[in-house]
Chains A and B, each alone.
Chain A
Amino acid sequence: MRQELEKVILEVENVIAGKRNVIEKLLMALLAGGHVLLDDVPGVGKTTLAVALSHAMDLAYKRVQFTPDVLPSDLVGFSMYEQSTGKFVYHPGVLNCANLLLGDEINRASNKTQSALLEAMEEKQVTVDGSTYSLMTPFLVIATQNTVGAAGSQFLPFAQIDRFMVRLSVGYPDYDAQMAMLRARQGCNPEDRVQCVMQKEKLLSMQSEVKHVSSKEAILDYITRLTIASRNHEAVKVGISPRGAIFLDRMSKAHAWMDERDYVTGSDVQAVFQDVCGHRVLLKDTSDRKNVEEVLSDLVRTVESPDRRSRFVGMWKKE
C-alpha cells in the first residue's frame, strides 16, 4: 500500500471505522477517474464517508440533496440577463466548482436532472446555452441511493447507472466498529478533526501514474472473455457493456497501483470485478434463484483464468 494513500485511509477511518475495504475501493475509483454509486440503507455513513474523504484530500466538496424539484440549472448553472451590461451572464452551477460532488439520494431527482449529470460525468464538462465549460480536475461524483424507503423515487436509468465506475455498499458496522464510532462521537464531531494529508496536485499526478500501469494482452483477453461470457450467461438479460470492460481495466490498474505494482495481474481484475460489474448486469427473471453476485462469481469461476491461459505456447499443449 502506498504511503500517501495509507495516510488518507487512516484519516478517513477515524470517522468511519471498520470499512477499510470500501474506502480503498472509493480511492481506487478516484484514482481511476471514475464515479461511485453508493447503494445502501440509510444511516450507514455514505455521506460521512464522502465528506471525510474530501477533507482528507483537500478537494472542493459540494453536496446536492436531490429532490424531485431540483432542476438541471441548479447543477450545470444558468445564464441570466444583466441589466447593467445588457448581456447574458453565466452563473455557474454546483458542478462547476466541485472536485467531489456528493449527489445524495440521486434516485429522488427527476429524470431531466439526472440526465443533466450525464454529460458532466462522462465528458467532465457542461454545456449551457451552447457554450461549453470544463469542470475542475479531478472531478468525482459520489452518488448515493437508498435501497429501502424509495417510495416516490425515480429508478435510475440503466444508461446512467452504467456511467458509474463502481457500485459500493457500505453495510452495517460490526460490534467493535460501532462501539468505536459511538466513542469517537462523545466529544465533538470527528468529521471536523479530519486533517488534510494530501494535496490535490498529488492526486492528479497519482491519476496519471495509474493511467500508465500496463495491462498485458493476457489481461485484456481475460477482461474481454469475462464480459463476453457475462453476455452469454443463461441467467443474464443485459450483460456487461464495453464501457464496463473499459472501466474494469481502469479499475484493475488502480488496484494494481495501490498494491505497488505497475502491471495488472488476474487477481486485480478479480478483486474489482464484483464492484465494477455488479450494477451493469440485468438478470432475466427477477424471481430467479440467482442474484447478480452469484452470477458474477460464477463467471469468475468458469472463465479460464489468465494464469492458466498463458500456458507457454509450443511446449505443453492442453490434453
Chain B
Amino acid sequence: MKRRLIYGFWFLLTVCLYFFENNMGTRCILLCTFLLLLVPRLRTLIFSPDHTDAQAIDLEWDSRFQVQQEEDEPGCVRDYHPGDPVNRIHWKLSAKRNTLLVRENEKTSWVYENREKQSCNRKKAESKKWKRKAVWICACFVPVIMALLVTIPAARQGLYVLANTVYDASEQLNAYAYIHFPVDMNQSTQLTSVLLGTLFLALAAIACLTGSRIFSFILLGSFHVFQIYFGLPFPALANIGLYVLFVLSIAQRPWTKRSIMMLAGWSAAAILAVLLIWPGVHETTETASEWVRDQLSKMMPQVSVEGLEQPYGMQETRHVHPQTLSSGEQMSGKDREYRLVTIEKEPISIPYWVNYLKIALLLILTAVVMVIPFLPFVLLDGRRKKALQAREIFQSEQIHEAVQAIFQLVVSWLEGVNMGPGNSLYRTWTGHLEEADVPEGYAERFEECAIVFEKAVYSDHPISEDDRKKALELLGETEEIVKAKADWKQRLHLKYWECLWI
C-alpha cells in the first residue's frame, strides 16, 4: 500500500513538473528516480519465489502430474451402477477386486496424451526463468543509460542531432511525396480518415484481444512511421494513449492483481517516457532543419516561405498542410504549395506559488537522496540496541528466561544456515546435527542444552548457574560453526550480535 502511494505521489509529481518545468534535465532526473523506485518492485515481480511464472508453471505441472498419478489409484473409480457405459469399466481393477468398477475421471485419457508435453513444459519453464533473469539484468541498464544520455553534454547534443536526422528524413519524404504523387486538393479526406481510423481501431482491438506482442509492436511501429512520414506528430496525449494501448496489449492474461499492478507501472513509465521524449521539436533540431527548408525552397520556387527572417526560439514553427491554408483559393491539381507559417507563442503565466512548490519538492528530493547512504547505519544501530537488550536478558536474574533466550538464539542461528530440520522438537535435532558437519561432541552438548531448555519452558524447577554457563558456551560454539557456513549476508547479520561479547 505504502509503495503504491509512493508511486502515485511520484507520478503526480512528475506530471506536475512536466507542465511547469521545461528543463529537460529535471525531467530526466525525475524519470530516473521513478525507474529506480520501480526497480525493487520489478525485482520482486521477477524473482519472488511464489510469483514467478516459472514457478506457476511448475505448480501447474505438479498438479497435472498428481492427476496422472491418482489416475492409477482406486480414488478415481467407483462401483458400477446399472446404466453406466460398459466402455468405462475399469476391467483391470474390476478383476482385481472381483466387483465391477467404473472409471470416474473424464480427464484421464487427456492426461496420458499430455504426458510427453509435460516434460517439454518443464524445459520451457526453465528457459523462461533464465529469460527473466536476463530481462532483469537488461532493465538495470535502462536508468543508467538514460541518466548518462542526459548528463553528458556531448551525448545530449548527439541526441538532438539524431532527432534532427529523423526529421530531415521525414521532411525529405514529405517533399518527395508532394512532388511525385499528384494530389487532388479538392478531394475530401473525410472518408479516408474514417476508414483509416477504423482500420487502426480494428488492429488495436486485435492486438489487445489476442495479446500478440509482435502484432502490437508492428502496430506501434506503423503509428510512428505514419507520424514521421506525414511530419505531423500527434499531440503528446495521443501518444500516451498509444503507449497505454501498447502496454495493454502485451500485458499478461488473465487479469490478476499482480498483472494490473505491473501494467500500471509500465504504463506510468511509458507515459513518462513519452512526456520526456516528445515535448515537441527542440530549438536546436528546428534550426538544424532550416537546411532542409532551404533545399525545399530551392527545389520549388513557388513555395513561399514566410517568417524566416524572424529569430527562432521565440516562435514555434509548424508545417501546415496547404489545403488548410488555401481552402479559399482555387488551385489546380498540379499547383502545389508548401508553406511555413510562424505562429506567435503566447507567454505562459505561471502562478507564483509554483516556484515555492518546486523548491519544496526539490528539497524533499534532496533530503531523500541524502538519507539513503545513512540508512544502513540507522538500521545497524537498531540491531545493536536489540543485541544489547538480548545481552541484558542473558545475564538477568531470571535464569529461566535467560536460558530460553540463549537457546532460542542458538536455534535461530542454526536455522539461518539451514542446519535446522524445520518444525520439530529441539530435542530431536541431535540426529540431524550429527549428520551435518559439526565439531565432535557438539550434538551431545546441544541435546543437553535442549533438555535444560525444556526444563526452563515446561517446568518451574530451578535451573543452576552452571546450566546458563553451558548454554552460553553452546552459543559461542554455535557462532563459530555458523560463521564458517554463512554467506556474506548472514555474516553481516551475525555482525550485529558481536557486540554481545564485547
Contacts and interface: CB of A to CB of B under 8 A. Distances in A.
Interface of A: 214, 216, 218-219, 261-267, 270, 285, 287-289, 301-308, 310-312, 315-316
A214 B405 contact: no
10 contacts: A214-B459, A265-B427, A267-B428, A304-B423, A305-B423, A305-B424, A307-B425, A312-B393, A315-B386, A316-B412
Contacts of A216: 457-459
Contacts of B454: 265-267, 307
- Residue from B390, B408, B458 whose CB has the most chain A CB atoms within 10 Å: B458
Contacts of B460: 214
Interface string B447-458: 000000111011
B73 interface: yes
Nearest to B420: A308
B74 interface: yes
Contacts of A289: 70, 73, 75
A267 to B, nearest CB: 5
A315 B459 contact: no
Contacts of A214: 458-460
A315 B405 contact: yes
Contacts of B283: none
A318 to B, nearest CB: 10
Where chain A touches its partner, the secondary structure class is loop
Interface string B372-406: 00000000000000100110010000000100110
B3 interface: no
A315 B389 contact: yes
Contacts of B70: 289
Contact of A263 (B389, B404, B427, B459): B459
Interface string B426-441: 1110000000000000
Given A289-B75, A304-B423, A307-B453, A264 B408 contact: no
Nearest to B386: A315
Interface size class on chain B is 20 to 34
A9 to B, nearest CB: 23
Contact of A270 (B425, B453, B461): B425
3 nearest A-B residue pairs (beta carbon):
A263-B459, A263-B458, A265-B454
B374 to A, nearest CB: 23
Given A267-B428, A285-B75, A287-B75, A218 B457 contact: yes
Contact of A301 (B75, B404, B423, B453): B423
A307 B426 contact: yes
Interface in B62-114: 70, 73-75
B24 to A, nearest CB: 44
A218 B458 contact: yes
Nearest to B428: A267
A46 to B, nearest CB: 30
A262 B458 CA distance: 10
A266 B405 CA distance: 18
A302 B428 CA distance: 16
A312 B459 contact: no
Interface string B34-77: 00000000000000000000000000000000000010011100
Given A289-B73, A312-B405, A312-B408, A265 B423 contact: no
A270 B412 CA distance: 22
B322 to A, nearest CB: 71
A264 B427 CA distance: 14
B388 to A, nearest CB: 11
A307 to B, nearest CB: 5
B180 to A, nearest CB: 72
A240 to B, nearest CB: 19
A315 B453 contact: no
Given A288-B75, A302-B423, A312-B401, A263 B455 contact: yes
Interface in B446-481: 453-455, 457-461
A273 B16 CA distance: 66
